[in-house]
Amino acid sequence: MTETAKRVRVHHLQAAKARGERLTMLTAYDAVTARIFDDAGVDMLLVGDSIGNTMHGHRTTLPVTVEDMIPAARAVAGAAQRAFVVVDLPFGSYEAGPTQALETAVRIMKATGADAVKLEGGRRSAAQIRALTDAGIPVVGHLGYTPQSENLLGGPRVQGRGDEAAAELSTDAVAVADAGAVAVVLEMVPAPVAARVTEIVAIPTIGIGAGTECDGQVLVWVDMAGMGDWSPRFAKRFGEVGAALRAAATAYVDEVRARTFPDDEHSFRS
């Protein structure tokens, strides 16, 4: 259903889970990549707060602000013709409670034209999810390794290991679904735990480092496309775009310095 939808909507996500169709999600931070991924048939584009460490040079996502997110989200939403566009609520913009979360989400939705917002946390964020849902704003949850809490978690570590931790994660997932979330991201979760969560919640699960049994998968696009020298263990490099871009830039520099570009073909004559 998501393959044939002219525009992916909330009900398409739910229908895909019901039919056993895998959903696809990639991050995007600008119109150029958003248009490429949209044309490729990606179902969901996530304007992630990962913009902080992928595009802005921060060590973590924590410095990212709403003011950082809005221009990126506006560009992605404007370029996407089919994909369901989700925008992260950055750290500090929703934790105070439902009122703060609603104010932030309304601002982002009005300013960008996005389809949904995403926030981290299970039971602790259930009231925020419910407030946004009651206001008509679709919400995607985020459990497992939650980057905005990386200082508390001790860095990027697998979450949900052991019976007690797995039970806690499952309880959080149920709370997120019961609060009205339309989907939930499971990051760096043992595959059997993610499979169990996928089985017990009615909403789609979107895995990142969470095994094969999730209803969909998401990757940060620079990891997926091989833009750097390193990528996380769970992120397969589906291309080496960074190397190709470096080669193109090197060729450009060489030709300009050798005065072979521009040539007659790329110049104007009176």
As annotated, the active-site residues are 187
- Residues 84 and 80: their CA atoms lie apart, in Å, by 8
| Contact residues for 190 (Cβ-Cβ < 8 A; gap 6+) | 158, 160, 161, 166, 210, 211
Per DSSP, 46 falls in state E
| Contact residues for 135 (Cβ-Cβ < 8 A; gap 6+) | 102, 105, 106
- Residues 157 and 204: their CA atoms lie apart, in Å, by 23
| Distances, alpha carbon 95 to alpha carbons 82, 205, 212, in Å | 31, 23, 31
Locate tokens 């393959």: which residue? Answer: 3
Residue 88 annotated in ligand binding: yes
CA angle 214, 175, 138 (to 5 degrees): 75
- Residues 185 and 193: their CA atoms lie apart, in Å, by 13
| Contact residues for 71 (Cβ-Cβ < 8 A; gap 6+) | none
First-to-final CA distance of the chain = 55
Residue 49 annotated in ligand binding: yes
Residue 170 annotated in ligand binding: no
Residue 30 annotated in ligand binding: no
Taking the C-alpha atoms of 188, 190, 194 and 196 in order, what is their torsion angle to the nearest 10 degrees? -160
* Closest to 187 (Cα-Cα) out of 126, 237, 122, 127: 122
Binding site for Mg(2+), by residue number, is 49, 88, 120
Binding site for 3-methyl-2-oxobutanoate, by residue number, is 49-50, 88, 118
Binding site, by residue number, is 49-50, 88, 118, 120
